[in-house]
Amino acid sequence: MYRLLRHIVFLLDPETAHHFAMNFLSIFVKIPLVKFLMKKLHLAKKNDPFELMGLKFCNRVGLGAGFDKDAKYLDVMEAMGFGHIEIGTVTPRPQAGNEKPRLFRLTQDNALINRMGFNNDGVDVIAERLKKYANRSYIIGGNIGKNKDTPNEEAVNDYLTCFTKLYDHVDYFTVNVSSPNTPNLRELQDEDALRKLLSTLQAENTRLGKNKTYIAQNSPRFEL
């Protein structure tokens, strides 16, 4: 059955196949018995709880950013047994990302290459979508970035906007300063730029009072 489904899905381009499969599963898990059985199937993964940096995880299996950029498939990922799910990268304003095709299969290597370019629905839409997941047993992380057309001199404002608007809806933050698909983004890894960015976010973190954990993605420095 898997081989047959894989063959059918592989007739589609990778990005279309991703959305087709996930939208199908989203409908599928809305059937009460189906979601119950899926969660039972993955129950073993929930028997390894642990705590890290003040966060309590129900298991050690997590999903990194990029798969569910817009927080559309959290129910599916929970049913599949993930103990934490990182959404994003999220930017202040919606953006389409790079031109298609931008996701490529390496079939012989069982791998993918992507150059998506921070395509997402924007922080306002995503924050609203997250409100219905206030009562949950798994961890949600928010991966945040800047819009492509925001100059680096103003990038702090983009990160701060995302940080503030997602603050009540996620458990930790990842500050994305590593993507090669946003022009000049990696310049924010320079010490002065990174120090300014993280100190601004920490000041807001302190002001808001919950002291959320956050890290700078692929940077030699990080803050807690």
Q: How far apart, in whole angstroms, are the C-alpha atoms of residue 90 and residue 145?
A: 6
Supply the residues annotated as catalytic.
Answer: 179
CA distance 50 to 67: 24
Rounded Cα distance between 32 and 86, Å, is 25
In the chain, where does DSSP find H-type helix?
Answer: 2-9, 14-28, 32-41, 74-79, 123-130, 155-166, 191-208
Please state at what angle helix 155-166 crosses helix 191-208, rounded to 10 degrees: 30
Give the separation between CA 10 and CA 6, rounded to whole angstroms. 6
